[in-house]
């Protein structure tokens, strides 16, 4: 095979690229919608168990985990599956979708992917670890470590999500033919920035757990709509 043949084989045809982007948009929509559903189950669980709180009462978190066992497991299982699909979509969009306006959009997709991967672990802890450890006799020491790990990853994932969303949505807003309506873009930006601020304030012992949870749910809802539009465009 000649060098020119190898080069031609390595180049993805425009039609194939469009197909990849369409499938990536569909994955984005499905994964993000799943995250919204997972967030609803987290919202139905006790706050002390489901969301990060600075200097929490571990006893309250343990009791909350036991009381909210069913919803926490549901949130974790749905979340893990959705996160994997969502990460696949964001990676494909980073690699194959030309930026609407700003080259930094690719960095935004990369940051969102990192955030989603952090939440894979968060959801795994929720669905398969914390709920099981909380039911054990003398569980407090082990539960404390796992809960702090859960809280830290939740906060860091929210911060990285808040950093990644603005470059994507700002690029879309300034595109010649945006596929997402500007009011939805502004809602997504507001959700991301609120989560970023709440995540940073966590380290200053300011407790805004519902803002962080709402940021992920709200941003994911906008991404679900965005994914549908990308798949259709």
The CA distance from 212 to 115, in Å, is 13
The neighbour count for residue 181, using CB atoms within 10 Å, is 11
Torsion region of 56: left, alpha or beta (phi above 0 gives left; psi -120 to 50 gives alpha):
beta
The CA distance from 92 to 134, in Å, is 38
Q: pLDDT 10s per residue in the chain (233 long)?
A: 444 444 444 445 555 556 899 999 999 999 999 999 999 999 999 999 999 999 888 999 999 999 999 999 999 999 999 999 999 999 999 999 988 777 899 999 999 999 999 999 999 999 999 999 999 988 899 999 999 999 999 999 999 999 999 999 999 998 888 999 999 999 999 999 999 999 999 999 999 999 999 999 999 999 999 999 999 98
Query: Locate tokens 């039609």: which residue?
Result: 15
Each residue's pLDDT tens digit, 54-84: 988 899 999 999 999 999 999 999 999 999 9
The CA distance from 119 to 83, in Å, is 7
Record the tokens describing residue 214, joined without a space. Answer: 């709402």
pLDDT for 12 equals 54
Q: Domain locations in the chain?
A: 14-232
pLDDT for 7 equals 45
How long is the chain? 233
Each residue's pLDDT tens digit, 124-156: 999 999 999 999 988 899 999 999 999 999 999
Nearest partner of 153 among 172, 187, 130, 137, judged by Cα: 130
**Cβ(179)–Cβ(226) below 8 Å:** yes
Record the tokens describing residue 138, joined without a space. Answer: 């003398």
Rg (CA), the chain: 19
DSSP state at residue 54: S
The CA distance from 98 to 140, in Å, is 50
DSSP state at residue 174: T
- Virtual torsion, Cα 73, 210, 44, 189, nearest 10 deg: -80
Q: What's the predicted TM-score (pTM) here?
A: 0.90
């Amino acid at each position: 095979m000649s060098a020119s043949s190898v080069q031609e084989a390595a180049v993805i045809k425009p039609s194939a690229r469009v197909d990849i982007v369409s499938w990536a948009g569909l994955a984005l929509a499905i994964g993000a919608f799943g995250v919204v559903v997972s967030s609803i189950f987290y919202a139905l669980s006790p706050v002390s168990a489901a969301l990060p709180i600075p200097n929490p009462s571990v006893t309250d978190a343990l009791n909350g985990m036991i009381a909210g066992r069913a919803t926490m497991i549901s949130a974790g299982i749905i979340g893990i599956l959705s996160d994997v699909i969502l990460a696949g979509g964001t990676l494909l969009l980073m690699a194959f979708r030309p930026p609407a306006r700003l080259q930094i959009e690719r960095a935004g997709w990369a940051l969102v992917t990192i955030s989603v991967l952090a939440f894979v672990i968060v959801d795994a802890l929720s669905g398969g670890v914390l709920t099981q450890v909380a039911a054990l006799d003398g569980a407090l020491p082990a539960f404390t470590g796992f809960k702090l790990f859960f809280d830290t990853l939740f906060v860091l994932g929210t911060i990285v999500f808040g950093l990644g969303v603005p470059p994507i949505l700002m690029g879309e807003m300034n595109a010649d033919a945006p596929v997402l309506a500007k009011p939805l873009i502004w809602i997504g930006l507001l959700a991301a920035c609120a989560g970023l601020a709440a995540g940073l304030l966590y380290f200053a012992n300011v407790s805004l757990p519902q803002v962080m949870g709402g940021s992920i749910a709200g941003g994911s809802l906008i991404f679900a709509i965005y994914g549908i539009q990308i798949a259709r465009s």
